[in-house]
Amino acid sequence: MDNNQIQDTVLAKYYSTIDEIKAKEGKIILSFIGNVNSDLITSSTYLLENYFNTNYPFSKLKNKIIITSIEIIQNIMENSPQDEDIKQNSFIVVGDVDDQIVLKSFNLCEKENYDRINNYIKDINSKSKSKLESLYKKNLKDYSMSKQKSGLGLYTVAINSTTKPIFEISSITENYYSINITTTIKNE
């Protein structure tokens, strides 16, 4: 599969995600496809804050969604290939469907990172929310004294989710795997 075929696959997945939210009569709050970088954190935070201040002004939902979105964006940045032509094949979509927010993301990772990422995803998927919260607090304390990355972003996604998030990793080409995250956070 060449770069054009990869792009076609990603575009099909992106538009399918948009159509899925719209089919449920949902609103698209945030939609981005391309090279995910730190500028997206700033602009998406601004867009999400405005949306939630207008539509859910007294809800705790805003902070959960913003933090979860930032963690998903950072996950994409951390795990995407360095090749600029391949790196641009990422997306994040945030939709408002029936008083719940759906966040979906897609990015590619290199084959040599598959085992590390897949084991991490399996570990998160195997734990209850309360176990993740406990581990999160312990690891956060351990990492607060060091300058290393904590690696707790997907823990945050799982903890903030109302239902168990779906973390999937699958082969897309001989050299690349796709990482798909789907999570839902209800207005409480």
Amino acid letter, residue 152: L
> Which residues neighbour 129 within 8 Å (Cβ) at sequence distance 6 or greater?
158, 159, 164
Q: pLDDT tens digits, residue range 5-18? A: 888 889 999 999 99
User: pLDDT category, 83, cuts 50, 70, 90?
Assistant: confident
Residue 113 sits in a domain whose CATH number is: 3.30.565.10
Asked if pLDDT for residue 65 goes beyond 90, the answer is: yes
CA angle centred on 158, ends 54 and 80, rounded to 5°: 90
Number of domains within the chain: 1
User: So what's the pLDDT on residue 87?
Assistant: 76
Structural domain boundaries enclosing 167? 3-186
- The answer on pLDDT for 2 being more than 80 is no
Share of the chain above pLDDT 90, in %: 55
For residue 133, is pLDDT > 80?
yes
Query: What is the torsional sign of CA 129, 153, 178, 65?
Result: positive
99: left (phi over 0), alpha (psi -120 to 50) or beta: left
CA-atom Rg of the chain in angstroms: 16
pTM value is 0.89
Q: In what order do the strands lie in the sheet with 100-110?
A: 27-34, 90-97, 100-110, 176-186, 166-171
